[in-house]
Structure formats: structure tokens, C-alpha cells
Amino acid sequence: MAFRVEVSVCIILFSSFFFSLGTAQGVFNYREALEKSILFFEGQRSGKLPHNQRVSWRGSSGLSDGSLAKVDLTGGYYDAGDNVKFNFPMAYTTTLLSWNTLEYGKRMGPQLQNARAAIRWATDYLLKCANAAPNKLFVGVGDPNSDHKCWERPEDMDTVRSVYYVSPSSPGSDVAGEMAAALAAASLVFRTVDPVYSKKLLGNAVKVFRFAVQYRGSYSDSLGSAACPFYCSYSGYKDELYWGAAWLLRATNDISYLNFINTLGANDVPDLFSWDNKYAGAHVLMARRSVVGNDKRFDPFRQQAEDFVCKILPNSPYTSTQYTKGGLIYKLPEENLQYVTSITSLLTTYAKYMASKKHTFNCGSLLVTEKTIRILAKRQVDYILGNNPMKMSYMVGYGTNYPRRVHHRGSSLPSMAMHPQSFGCDGGFQPYYYTANANPNILVGAIVGGPNQNDFFPDERTDYSHSEPATYINAAIVGPLAYFDSSKR
């Protein structure tokens, strides 16, 4: 996990490249990419691995997590290439994966079961975090500062597994709001297939959200160096309260959540969507009731969602989005593909809502149809899968030309089967971190941080800002892949 700072990027770039590159150079197997994008989560698992674990080079890890606080916090996911469990991005990952499964589950075919399993691996852990001790919401395991000084497999961890929590006296409305959103969204995924589990998720979502609202404050302030600079809540916590309430509204139909949102006075319309800033996602989620349900009370959210799209479209008079010459959305230098996949997820979902009612809107004089948005979204997905100047797939294990030196501890070190002896904290640096050799284990499905603004990708393990994968990059692309796979049938 790397230092990721979010700032506003307002660079307007409009040229003919987008249209000249709008047609894919070749045909992509979206179904294969969908399968691999979900498989990736098995490579990120913490805890006791099940008998049907498919990523065979991984072993059980973090089996004493929580013991320092005398609680069980085993399970969950490592966020990226490190061995820390950060609940803030993990919960966001879970919310996105649940949303995409809700929207596109019927299009996923056999991958629906795998998507549910990926969600449940996270929610089982989040439920532990919400219930392990009274008046405490556990939000992370593992000292990130110690962990980032080491290069060792998760199976070998010998760094301190510090336990972090928020409480009434040390609040964390941002992480609590996101955890509530994740539990609420997941409750909808399991509503028909496991109603008992779904009810448990929703009950905990309500409880955790009440905590977020009652004890307001940023977890970054409460946790200090355990959160920053790794996953600082740069945008504050109001967007997570908004996001959490939006998901609870969808899960419960309790109009009090709408009333709560209206009291927040949060009218921000950013030009990105990420683990830190949830406004755009909340607007699209709420806009569904206006576009699909024709509920006039939600028209302001529809307008905000469309204002967001107008900031993304390259030929919109209101665009504030930069594109590379190869046609890729470019927001920030570090882990740029996280913004590409999350924005693309919103684009396909809003296009889906528009198509259901033949809805259109305008960005100034530009008429925007479902097809307008779909073309842009497809361009981003195809770029990631290989339609780019380097002809490289940024999904590991997809195609023949993909990143080989991924910034990921488990992938870059020999597996337990190949090297039964433990690697100490420093043991993996010289032989494996600094080598130019390819990683011995292929982290199938992982999408890395991606190329720079010049469409160049160096494929260097030490260049974490471009070569590190992350759960939230993958969670966002699951929906678009299912969307474009089903559109081919």
C-alpha cells in the first residue's frame, strides 16, 4: 500500500483522439476478464483459507489477528501489495463489489457465486469488527509503518499485528459510514439467497451507521499515523455519512435516510470517485429513483449525477477531465487506474439506468444518450485490457503481454511449497524485491496502478505507484466487465 493523496485535478483537454480511438483494436474476452477480476480477491485473502481456495500459492495468514485486543479479527482482505488490513478501503471495496453484483448479477453467469463468496469474505470480517467489543468499532489490523519496512509473505508475518478501533471518545464517522454502506449493500446481495445472513448484515449496518452519526469525527484524526498518510480521509467524513445513508435508504426504503441526507448540505459535485470521495457514487445511486423510479423527490440527485458525467465526457463543455493521448482517463499520478475503474463503473451503471427509460440529458449543447456514455466506458475497459499504445493488458494474467513485476509481496516471493523456510522482515528485499526477474507467482486478475500520463508503463516492482494492484481497482471493474460481456451475447 502506498501513500495516496487526493487533490483536485482540473485540466481540460479536448482533441480528436477520443473519436479516432473509439473503436477497439481487436476483440476482448470480457467473460474471461470478469472471471479473473473476481479470482484476484482470493489472492488477497487473510485468515484461514478454505478447501476450495483456487489461488494455490497463497496460504493461511494472520491467524492471530485481534489477539492483542483479546478479540477475533481474523479474515478480511489485504488492501494491495502489503500485509495490512485497512477497513476504510476494504469496506469501500465491499460496497462497490456488492453494488456491481446487484446491478449485473444476472449477467454474471457462473461468476455470480464467486462474486458472492468474495463479498462474504469481507462482510464476515466486518461483522467481527462491529461486534467484537462494546463501544468499539475495529477498523484495522497491522501496523502499517512497520509493515511497509518489510518485504515478506503474509504467511511469514512477524511484524506487530496492532489493532485499531474507533470509539465514542475517538470517533471515525468516515470509516464507520463506509462500513455501514458495505453491510447495507451486501445485505441486498444476499436478500433472496440467504435471508438470515442478509438480515444480520442490515441490522449491523443500521447499528454502525448510528454510531457514525452519533459520534462525529474523522478517523484520520483519531488514528493518526495508523491511517495517514496511507488512507487519510482527505475529503472529510460528510461524504461517507451521505453514502452510508444512501445505501441504507436503498436497503430499507426508510425515508428518514433521505431526510438525513438533506440535512447534510453536501452539494459537492467532484470529478472523481474513490475510496476517499463518495459523492459521485452516492449521486448515481440516488439518481436511480429519479431515472428508473420516476420519483421527483430524487431529481436533484439525478441532476448532480449528470453534472458529474458532464465533467467526465471529453467533448462536454463542462469537462474537467484530462485524457492521455491513448484515450485513458487521467486523474492523478498514483494508482490512476483506481479512478478509471471507479468512474467507469458509475458510467456503465448510469447508462444502464438511462437505457431502461430511454432517458437523455444535455451537457450544454451536447446531447448525452446512453450510447454516448457506453462508448466512453467501453474505451476505458478496452484500454485496460490491451487497446493502448503499449498493447499491454493491465490485468495480470489476461492476454500474453501483462505486468510481470507486480509490487506485491506474496506474488513476488516464492510460495510456501517452493520455499518452506520463512522470510524475515528484510529477507525478501535483495533476492526478490530488487530483481529484474518476473514474479514467481502470477496474481491472476490483478489490475495494477497503470500507465503514466504519457501512456507509458515501466513494469518495475519498485515503482509502486504504477505497479501495485489494489482490491478497490478490481471491485470497480467487475460491473463494467459483466455489462460488456452480456452486451456481446
Cell numbers given for 106? 444476472
Is 283 a residue of the active site? Answer: no
Confirm whether 298 is domain-assigned. yes
pLDDT for 2? 46
Instruction: Please report where in the chains the cell 421527483 appears, as a residue.
Output: 296
Identify the CATH number of the domain in which residue 385 sits.
Answer: 1.50.10.10
- The widest CA-to-CA distance across the chain, in whole angstroms, is 65
Q: Phi and psi at residue 135, in whole multiples of 5°?
A: 60, 25
In this structure, are residues 37 and 478 in contact, taking their beta carbons and an 8 Å threshold?
A: yes
Residue 213: which domain range? 44-484
Task: State residue 471's pLDDT score.
Answer: 98
Nine cell digits for residue 342: 471507479
User: Catalytic site residue 459?
Assistant: yes
Is 462 within a domain?
Answer: yes
Condensed to tens digits (0 to 9), the pLDDT of residues 372-390 reads: 999 999 999 999 999 999 9
**Per residue in 345-378, is it b (16+ CB within 10 Å) or e — as a string?**
bbbbbbbbbbeeeebebebeeeebebebbbbbbb
Residue 263 lies in a domain: yes
Amino acid at 268: D
Give the pLDDT score at 223. 97
* 337 grid coordinates: 487506474
Out of 103, 156, 468, 485, pick the active-site residue. Answer: 468
Flag whether 57 is in a domain: yes
| Nearest Cα to Cα of residue 278 among 251, 307, 238 | 238
What's the confidence (pLDDT) of residue 273? Answer: 98
Q: Give the Cα separation of 176 and 203 in Å (integer).
A: 14
> For residue 295, is it within any domain?
yes
In a domain, 216, yes or no: yes
Q: Phi first, then psi: give them for residue 362, nearest 5 degrees.
A: -120, 140
1 found inside a domain: no
- Residue tagged active-site, from 103, 370, 459, 485: 459
Domain membership flag for residue 146: yes
Select from 65, 213, 91 the least CA-distant residue to 143: 65
Distance in angstroms (rounded) separating the CA atoms of residues 39 and 240: 28
Q: What is the mean pLDDT of each run of 10 residues along the chain (489 residues)?
A: 41 37 62 98 98 97 98 98 98 98 96 98 98 97 95 95 98 98 99 98 98 98 96 96 98 98 87 97 98 97 98 97 98 97 98 98 98 98 98 98 98 96 93 97 98 98 98 98 80
Please count the structural domains in the chain. 1
Catalytic residue among 42, 174, 382, 407: 407
